[in-house]
């Protein structure tokens, strides 16, 4: 069954991808709230898969549960945010997801817990690697339809840009908190709504002829796209993972500037105007500054002030590179094979 989730602008169609997400959609839209108590057992069954990171039912279900906290799909009533059955369900999924990512993400050598040593380790970890990349493909080879497809894939996170990491603000103190707020203030446009990065990305989608309603393309993206967004949300929403949230943001900022330049060049090459390229042009300069703040003032200071969080900082960075790398590889491999990276049965019209 496909349920239409109405927002202020457009109806959002979300289709289940397995037993758990099907039941969640019934519960969250209050079609069958009495069935919420059965969700934790369905979650325990759902995680008995080979790879929770790429499982459609697991990742869509996490996305839906997080949407109840964000309020990003407004037909999910706010009363579900703290429902015990849903929180238990989320914990089951998060445990399996975190364990799988920890097993998959290669950890770097542990540096000294000092500001400069941690920053140096993160810059080494995030240094550009030789070989093909998604941003290089967009710059040199992608056509206009593939450029639109990239915007669709990225919309799951970028229409909510910065929100996932902002959950960590009240979980930090001192120098790290100040550094995170400095980065986030830029992400939210420095008080100018039109310069908020999520607003600029919405303009880019409209300029490319796409629907900028949040979740409009939820049916079209694969599990790994949800996993990328779910990972940073999981880190931000769990206080015990605040170090991972910081490491994730540091790696995210350190690997953004050069790819954004390449993507902006590719968008211009296929004929898009400034309304589409402005978002990526903004990140070329902004993230070149943010990477220094994130590496030293945020991650480095947190490790120096709270050495017990060092391993999680490194894990968050490694997890970001691993999962986001898989998401990009999924798109690149599909394009190189001459096919769409979107779900074939759910191509947008």
| CATH number reported for the structural domain that contains residue 305 in this entry | 1.20.910.10
Lowest-pLDDT choice from 72-76, 118-122, 211-215: 72-76
Q: Are residues 211 and 318 in the same domain?
A: yes
Say yes or no: 218 and 143 in one domain: yes
Q: Looking at 83, 104, 125, which one is the last position of a domain?
A: 104
What pLDDT score does 223 carry? 98
Do 196 and 233 reside in the same domain of the chain?
A: yes
Residues 78 and 181 in one domain: no
Spatial separation of the C-alpha atoms in residues 310 and 162, rounded to whole Å: 22
The Cα 217–Cα 184 span in angstroms is: 26
Tokens of 246: 């910081």
Q: Which of 104, 129, 158 is the C-terminal boundary of a domain? A: 104
99 and 126 belong to one structural domain: no
Q: Torsion over CA of 177, 182, 188 and 190, rounded to 10 degrees? A: 140
pLDDT band at 9 (very low <50, low <70, confident <90, very high): very low
Distance set, CA 20 to CA 230, 233, 254 (Å): 16, 20, 36
**261-277 pLDDT, tens digit each:** 999 999 999 999 999 99
Q: Quickly count: other Cβ atoms within 10 Å of residue 50's Cβ.
A: 8
Are 171 and 48 part of one and the same domain? no
pLDDT for 324 equals: 98
Identify whether 110 is part of a domain: no
Q: What is the pLDDT of residue 129?
A: 85
Give pLDDT, residue 347: 55
Whether residue 290 sits in one domain with residue 225: yes
What pLDDT is attached to residue 263? 98
- Which of these three, 104, 139, 154, is where a domain ends? 104
The number of C-alpha atoms within 13 Å of 94 and in the hemisphere containing its C-beta is 22
Number of domains in the chain: 2
Q: Is residue 302 part of a domain?
A: yes
In a shared domain, residues 266 and 138: yes
- d(Cα 289, Cα 254) in Å, to the nearest integer? 9
Of 41-45, 125-129, 321-325, 341-345, the one with minimum mean pLDDT is 341-345
Total-model pTM: 0.94
pLDDT at position 50 = 97
Whether 1 shows a pLDDT value over 80: the answer reads no
Same domain, 133 and 72: no
Whether 37 has a pLDDT exceeding 70, the answer reads yes
Q: Are residues 206 and 129 in the same domain?
A: yes
Domain that holds residue 62: 3-104
160 with 29, same domain: the answer is no
Backbone dihedral region for residue 133 (phi beyond 0: left; psi -120 to 50: alpha; all else: beta): beta
pLDDT attached to residue 13: 78
Q: Is residue 109 part of a domain?
A: no
The answer on pLDDT for 286 being more than 80 is no
Q: Find all residues with CB under 8 Å of 181, minimum gap 6, and list them.
A: 169
């Amino acid at each position: 069954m496909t349920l239409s989730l109405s927002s202020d602008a457009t109806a959002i169609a979300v289709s289940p991808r397995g037993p758990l997400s099907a039941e969640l959609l019934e519960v969250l839209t209050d079609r069958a709230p009495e069935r919420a108590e059965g969700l934790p057992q369905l979650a325990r069954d759902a995680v008995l898969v080979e790879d929770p990171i790429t499982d459609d039912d697991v990742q869509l279900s996490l996305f839906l549960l997080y949407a109840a906290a964000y309020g990003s799909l407004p037909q999910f009533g706010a009363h579900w945010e703290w429902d015990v059955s849903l929180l238990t369900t989320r914990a089951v999924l998060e445990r399996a997801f975190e364990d799988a990512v920890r097993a998959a993400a290669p950890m770097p050598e542990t540096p000294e817990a000092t500001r400069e040593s941690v920053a140096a380790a993160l810059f080494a970890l995030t240094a550009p690697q030789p070989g093909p990349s998604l941003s290089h493909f967009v710059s040199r080879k992608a056509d206009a339809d593939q450029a639109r497809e990239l915007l669709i894939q990225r919309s799951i996170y970028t229409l909510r840009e910065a929100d996932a990491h902002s959950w960590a603000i009240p979980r930090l103190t001192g120098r790290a908190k100040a550094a995170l707020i400095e980065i986030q203030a830029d992400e939210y446009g420095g008080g100018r709504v039109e310069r908020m990065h999520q607003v600029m990305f919405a303009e880019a989608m409209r300029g490319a002829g796409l629907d900028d309603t949040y979740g409009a393309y939820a049916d079209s993206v694969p599990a790994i796209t949800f996993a990328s967004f779910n990972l940073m949300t999981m880190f931000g929403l769990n206080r015990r993972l605040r170090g991972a949230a910081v490491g994730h943001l540091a790696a995210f900022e350190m690997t953004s500037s050069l790819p954004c330049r390449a993507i902006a060049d590719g968008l211009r090459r296929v004929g898009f105007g400034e309304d589409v390229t402005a978002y990526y042009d903004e990140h070329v300069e902004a993230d070149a500054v943010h990477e220094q703040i994130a590496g030293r003032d945020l991650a480095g200071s947190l490790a120096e002030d709270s050495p017990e969080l060092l391993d999680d900082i490194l894990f968050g960075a490694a997890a970001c590179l691993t999962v986001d790398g898989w998401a990009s590889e999924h798109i690149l491999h599909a394009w190189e094979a001459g096919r769409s990276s979107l779900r074939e049965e759910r191509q947008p019209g």
